[in-house]
Amino acid sequence: MREKSAAMRWRCAAASVHRGIRHRAAAARCASRFDLEGTGNIVALDALKRAVGRHGADAALAADLHARLDDSANVPQAWRDRLREVTDRAIGFAREVAGRTDNEAEARRATSLLYHVASAVALTWEGGRIHEMRGDARRLLLSRMVIDHRVSGNDPFRLTENDAQRAITGHLLGMDAVGMAEVGELLVAA
């Protein structure tokens, strides 16, 4: 896909040079089609079609994310359950997008969701390990913020700042370690 796209872009550019001024508008329309696709969309589509569609890498990713959550026994169960749910939903959405050609417009969103969910799980796993070593569970709060701000569908016109968000921000910007009990309450707070 990427090679074909680059070759077509080159042909559009060459056409504008060889055909002269009269055809520059047509060449510009041709080139702008590729600008609308964007490199990120092409890479996302390629990743979904190859990794998820052909090679089944989604199953390996799901297994790894679930294993990391299972390995985080000191993290509150309610938070791990929520992350399992969003993991399964993100994997399912990626499979759905990869499975049908009429879903290509959603490729970027599907890969972004996979990335953000994987980040939240990794932050949770790291947060549990850091808490075991140093007694500081603040990394878990970052996982909550990733879910809140990158995965959950929020109304863009609604203020997101509430007591829980203020407490999370205060802990993240503060210098003091925060225990798992306090972090656990903030992870499941509305």
If you write DSSP's letter for every residue of 14-81 in order, what string do you get? HHHHHH-GGGHHHHHHHHHHHHHHHHHHHHHHHHIIIIIIIT-HHHHHHHHHHHHHHT-TTS-HHHHH
Tokens of 177: 């370690």
The string of pLDDT tens digits covering residues 82-94 is 999 999 999 999 8
CA 66, CA 74: separation in Å to the nearest integer?
15
Find, among 61, 59, 60, 83, the residue nearest to 70 by Cα: 83
Rounded to the nearest integer, the mean pLDDT of the chain is: 80
The string of pLDDT tens digits covering residues 161-190 is 788 889 999 999 999 999 999 999 999 886
* Lowest model confidence (mean pLDDT) among 52-56, 77-81, 152-156: 152-156
Tokens of 17: 């040079």
The string of pLDDT tens digits covering residues 36-66 is 456 777 777 777 877 787 788 888 899 999 9
CA 168, CA 149: separation in Å to the nearest integer?
13
CA 45, CA 183: separation in Å to the nearest integer?
37
Most confident of 31-35, 39-43, 90-94, 155-159: 90-94
CA 152, CA 113: separation in Å to the nearest integer?
10
| Domain map (residue ranges) of the chain | 1-55, 56-188
pTM summary value: 0.75
Tokens 């140093």 sit at which residue? Answer: 134
